Amino acid sequence: MSCIVAIVGRPNVGKSTLFNRLIKRREAIVDAVSGVTRDRHYGKTDWNGREFSIIDTGGYVVGSDDVFEQEIDKQVELAIDEADAIVFVVDAEAGVTGLDEDVANLLRKVEKPIFLAVNKVDTAKREADALEFYSLGLGEYYTISSINGSGTGDLLDAVVAAL
Ligand code: GDP
Ligand code: MG
């Protein structure tokens, strides 16, 4: 079975944009127990000759601006259960938010490789804005732009090396 990488983070940070950029084909996975398609997006891709699946865990909060911590909990739980590595996406434009801190606190307990991706770093000028994400206490981060693709190669190099 191929490895699974989960993309987690609060709404609007760019998880789905990153997912869509990274995947090569989509899979509809049907839950064996309930018999319904789960409200998550799965895709397949490969990098450096390594094939793996990606989950966009934010699927079930689409259309809702009102996200409760419970929902975030659920998202991270899914990642813990299913993923071999986790990409935690935050937004350099918005800076650190309370929900980012909630996610970081949950991820701190996870004994799987976690990659902090500071998204929306579309220009070199914005690199400095990413520094504040050290306050999440997750160590080093990768600055990326899911819109123009910059930085995603370095992120994937690191992710694939951990699988
Ligand atoms: P999600 O809720 O985390 O899945 O976020 P989406 O992928 O739906 O993106 C939320 C918004 O951020 C959309 O308007 C995207 O176009 C925008 N966005 C995503 N990635 C980037 C990026 O790298 N740079 C900029 N400037 N905007 C982005
Ligand atoms: Mg989304």
Nearest bound ligand to CA 18?
A: 1
For ion ligand 2, residues whose CB falls within 5 Å: 15-16, 58
Backbone angles phi, psi at 5, to 5 degrees: -115, 125
Length of the chain measured in residues: 163
Domains of the chain: 3-162 (3.40.50.300)
Pick from 83, 88, 84, 106: nearest CA to 161: 84
Per-residue pLDDT of the chain (163 residues), as tens digits, is 579 999 999 888 999 899 999 998 766 555 554 444 455 678 899 999 999 999 887 644 444 455 566 677 777 787 778 899 999 999 999 999 998 998 899 898 889 999 999 999 999 999 999 999 999 999 999 999 999 999 999 999 999 999 9
Q: Is 141 annotated as a binding residue?
A: no
Q: What is the DSSP secondary-structure string of 91-133?
A: ETTT---HHHHHHHHHHTT--S-EEEEEE---SGGGGGGGGGG
64 C-alpha to ligand 1 centroid (Å): 15
Ligand 1 interacting residues, C-beta cut-off 6 A: 9, 11-17, 58, 119-120, 122, 145-147
Residue 157 is assigned to a ligand binding site: no
Crossing angle of helices 69-82 and 98-107, rounded to 10°: 30
Write down the ipTM of this complex.
0.99
